[in-house]
Structure 1
Amino acid sequence: MFPIYLYEDNREQRESYQKTINNTVMINEYAMELIVATTNQQEILADMSQRRDGLFFLDMEIGENEQAGLELASEIRQQLPLAKIVFITTHDELSFVTLERRIAPLDYILKDQSAEQITQKIAKDIKLTQQMLEKTSDQLPEVFSYKIGTRLFTLALADVIMLSTHKDRPGNVTLSTANRLAEFPGNLSAIADKHPSLFRCDKSALVNLSHVQSFDSQKRELLLDGGIKCDVSFRRTRELNKILKNADGDCLK
């Protein structure tokens, strides 16, 4: 089920929005579900740490904090780059701030409209999200995810250059991309099973062969984008040579 979240501190409004969301999903038989409806952003953060995407209806002002929804949206966008965010707010003047923070909301719903207009807009945003999901379901890039503590990070698998382990850091994996270096708990065997397109150079490294610059088969050394180097075991050298030659038709060193 595709998750939907609601962040609203006015009880009457929250119940009204909940009803609209549930009715829209049920009537149209969407594979969606309202997972959390709350005034506590920690409830949303805790649940979304297990997700890759979601539709978020966020009140901008919670209690005395006029930017509570904006702060939550920034965290959502960092953890879930594909998330759909809708602000339900009286603060349309903060729309420029969302541009500065690169939140890229799907919609703004202003509370000074009639209840019927708000209901229609919520339903419209749910339907728009469904249409987006249908259009991209066959086009979505494979995603790589990892956790640090309770936080889930995602990126396109195509952006991964290398995943490696080190003897002095057992139980941890180092991720290398063009603009990111991160370490997280994990093991390469589990990652290799989940992402078979990654090539196992040896027991301590997985690489994305689309980032290969060259391979010196005599030294058994692979040069990747960003100047990243990786040793290749004797057993995997023959297989790697075959893969690379078939990929570009060139003879390797």
Structure 2
Amino acid sequence: MFPVYILEDNDKQREFYKSIVVNTIVINDYAMKVFDVGDVESFFNVFSETQYGLFFLDMEIGEDVKAGLKLSEWIRKNIPNANIVFITTHEELSFLTLERKVSPMDYVLKDFAVEKIKSHIIDDVNLSQKYYDNDIYSKRTTFGYKIGSKYFSVPMEDLILLYTDKNLSGQVNLVSKNRRVSFPGNLNFYEKKYSNLLRVDKSSLVNNDKIISYDSRKRTLYLENGINCDVSLRKSSMVKKMFK
């Protein structure tokens, strides 16, 4: 689920922005979830670790004229793929976003006409979805790994399973339609990089598109090419929901 965060301490304005975002999501059937908050502390209370996200930030929160700018620096540092939009009265602070290398997607002034603000927000939501789709598609087409100084790739449509063996620390085993190979790495890295790889237990990542069936009693997942793997008790309910 792609997250959209709105930070605005004026309740009326925040509800206005939220209504535009939600309406755009509904009209386009986007898989997005909106979080709206009135202060920075509340932002961190609702924030979840993510690779992507759209952030609508007011520059001035309470008595702090640069609260939104400070938060944007944290966002850019921790979420490189984030799309940041400032909605503010402080036109004079726009140069600081360049100076601090925040690279905002948009800078919307509150004294714009209502329809212009609405148009900017709609465009920002649509563009974020487009960027997300393009990035996910490019990452889904191939799976890359490295052995020594050489780089290799496997078509994502051929990749079936990644797993680790407790007797071979620091190694990842790859199973595809026509290849089995081991290389240095860890599953956490690949789980974050490739959104179509599903963590089914601490030592296995499966390609969503290669799942055939699931035996919930045995907690066994059956994949293409006659391959199967165990599902942890903690992940079992998630896998069952997928089949429902």
| TM-score w.r.t. length of structure 1 | 0.56
Quote the residue 1:205 is aligned against.
Answer: 170
Partner amino acid for 1:39?
G
Give 1:18 shift.
1.0
Partner amino acid for 1:56?
F
Question: Is 2:91 aligned against 1:92?
Answer: yes
Tell me the number of residue pairs that the alignment of Structure 1 and Structure 2 aligns. 161
Cα distance in 1 for partners of 2:139, 2:6 equals 25
User: Unpaired segments of 5 or more residues in structure 2?
Assistant: 149-160, 173-181, 186-244
Cα distance in 2 for partners of 1:140, 1:79 equals 20
- Mark the structure with the bigger radius of gyration: 1
Question: Is 2:26 aligned against 1:61?
Answer: no
Cα distance in 2 for partners of 1:81, 1:23 equals 27
Quote the residue 2:7 is aligned against.
Answer: 7
Cα distance in 2 for partners of 1:91, 1:47 equals 26
Relative to structure 1, the CA distance from residue 18 to residue 42 in structure 2 (aligned partners, 3 Å threshold; closer, same or farther) is same
Partner amino acid for 2:170?
A
Relative to structure 1, the CA distance from residue 92 to residue 61 in structure 2 (aligned partners, 3 Å threshold; closer, same or farther) is same
Quote the residue 1:151 is aligned against.
Answer: none
Matches within 5 A, 1:32-43: 32-34=32-34, 36-43=35-42
Cα distance in 2 for partners of 1:110, 1:14 equals 14
Matches within 5 A, 1:212-223: none
User: Unpaired segments of 5 or more residues in structure 1?
Assistant: 143-156, 162-194, 212-253
Is the 2:171–2:183 contact (alpha carbons within 8 Å) kept by the matching residues of 1? no
Matches within 5 A, 1:171-190: none
Give 1:206 shift.
4.4
Relative to structure 1, the CA distance from residue 45 to residue 78 in structure 2 (aligned partners, 3 Å threshold; closer, same or farther) is farther
Matches within 5 A, 1:1-253: 1-34=1-34, 36-140=35-139, 196=162, 203-206=168-171
Partner amino acid for 1:7?
L
Quote the residue 1:179 is aligned against.
Answer: none
- Secondary structure at the aligned position of 2:139 is classed as coil
Cα distance in 1 for partners of 2:94, 2:39 equals 23
- Secondary structure at the aligned position of 1:52 is classed as coil
Identical aligned residues as a percent? 42
Measured against aligned partners, the alpha-carbon deviations of 1:60-107 in whole angstroms (never above 9, x if no partner) come to 111111100001111111111111100001112212211222111110
CA RMSD of aligned residues (A): 2.9
Cα distance in 2 for partners of 1:88, 1:139 equals 31
Give 1:202 shift.
6.2
Cα distance in 1 for partners of 2:91, 2:84 equals 15
